[in-house]
């Protein structure tokens, strides 16, 4: 036997044994989730703009359960579910941005924002005059001869989860968030031309925080 080759053979055998032992150790030390990262007991889905956790494997549609995940248009109504509401000023938001309907300066053109099926925000342009005797005012088409002697609330009252504004003959005030996290909700009272403000804590509604002039679910 070649004695000069024997040490190298012994080294190879020892290295093989060490490598085999290391593979055995890794096989028993890693759990199923590490060995199969694609398999999970739960996944997330976006349902009615809210991220929920669903049992069973699947593709995650949103980052975490309880968080806002879709696209929301505050001027969507039962009559105009898609949110293309030229007669009501609204704010459209998704997880990336927020856009409020507004008028082009010194014109009757309205920029209306709506949600698309893929949860992105789409911009529409409308000339209010094409709808009849209308002009653009405060992000909505209003009748050009409409008297502003009374107070008008664009969301119809104390709707803390909807960003809106109130206007009268002298001012337009939008709902807003205070520095301490409370909401300033603008509203009107019948027969009173003044714009009123109700300051509330969004946390009183549950797991809500003030964001962009409305109480939104905190997740």
Q: For the segment 66-99, what is each residue's pLDDT rounded down to a tens digit? A: 788 888 888 887 777 788 889 888 889 888 888 8
- Asked if the model's pLDDT at residue 56 lies above 50, the reply is yes
CA angle 154, 159, 163 (to 5 degrees): 60
- The span from the first CA to the last CA of the chain, in angstroms, equals 75
Residue 36 belongs to a domain: no
* Shared domain check, 162 and 198: yes
Q: Evaluate whether residue 26 is within a structural domain.
A: no
d(CA 4, CA 82): 85
Establish if 136 belongs to a structural domain.
yes
Tell me, what's the pLDDT at 35?
43
- Domain presence at residue 63: no
Is 213 a member of any domain? yes
Same domain, 172 and 200: yes
Q: Are residues 152 and 218 in the same domain?
A: yes
Last residue of a domain, one of 93, 114, 145: 145
Whether 32 has a pLDDT exceeding 50, the answer reads no
Q: Is residue 33 part of a domain?
A: no
> What are 125's strand-pairing partners?
111
Residues 219 and 168 occupy one common structural domain: yes
Eight-class DSSP state of 69: -
Tell me, what's the pLDDT at 36?
47
Together in a domain, 115 and 163: no
Nearest C-alpha neighbor of 132 from the set 146, 124, 143: 143
**Are 154 and 187 within one domain?**
yes
**What is the span of the domain harbouring residue 87?**
71-145
Same domain (yes/no): 140, 153: no
Q: Which of 120, 145, 170 is the last residue of a domain?
A: 145
CB under 8 Å to 21, separation ≥6 — which residues?
Answer: none
Looking at the fold, whether 188 and 133 belong to one and the same domain comes out as: no
Residue 58 in domain = no
Q: Is the confidence at residue 201, as pLDDT, over 90?
A: yes
**Number of domains comprising the chain:** 2
- Identify the sign of the CA torsion 70, 72, 77, 80: negative
Q: Are residues 130 and 155 in the same domain?
A: no
In a domain, 139, yes or no: yes
Is the pLDDT at 54 greater than 80? The verdict is yes
Q: Are residues 154 and 215 in the same domain?
A: yes
Q: What is the pLDDT of residue 121?
A: 93
User: Does 153 lie in the same domain as 137?
Assistant: no
Least confident of 111-120, 134-143, 193-202: 134-143
One domain for residues 156 and 219: yes
Pick the last residue of a domain from 145, 161, 176.
145
CA 167 distance to own-chain centroid: 26
């Amino acid at each position: 036997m070649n004695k000069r080759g024997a040490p190298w053979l012994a080294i190879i055998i020892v290295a093989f044994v060490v490598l085999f032992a290391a593979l055995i150790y890794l096989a028993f030390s890693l759990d199923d989730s590490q060995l199969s990262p694609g398999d999970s007991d739960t996944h997330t889905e976006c349902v009615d703009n809210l991220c929920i956790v669903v049992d069973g494997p699947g593709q995650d549609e949103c980052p975490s359960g309880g968080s806002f995940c879709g696209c929301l248009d505050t001027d969507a109504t039962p009559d105009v579910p898609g949110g293309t509401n030229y007669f009501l000023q609204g704010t459209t938001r998704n997880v990336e941005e927020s856009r409020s309907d507004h008028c082009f300066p010194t014109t009757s053109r309205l920029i209306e924002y709506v949600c698309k099926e893929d949860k992105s925000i789409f911009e529409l342009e409308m000339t209010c005059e094409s709808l009849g005797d209308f002009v653009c005012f405060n992000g909505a088409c209003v009748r050009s001869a409409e008297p502003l002697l009374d107070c008008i609330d664009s969301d119809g009252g104390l709707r803390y989860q909807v960003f809106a504004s109130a206007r009268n003959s002298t001012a337009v005030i939008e709902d807003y968030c205070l520095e301490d996290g409370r909401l300033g909700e603008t509203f009107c009272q019948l027969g009173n031309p003044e714009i009123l403000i109700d300051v509330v804590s969004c946390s009183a509604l549950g797991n809500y925080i003030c964001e962009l002039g409305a109480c939104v679910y905190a997740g």
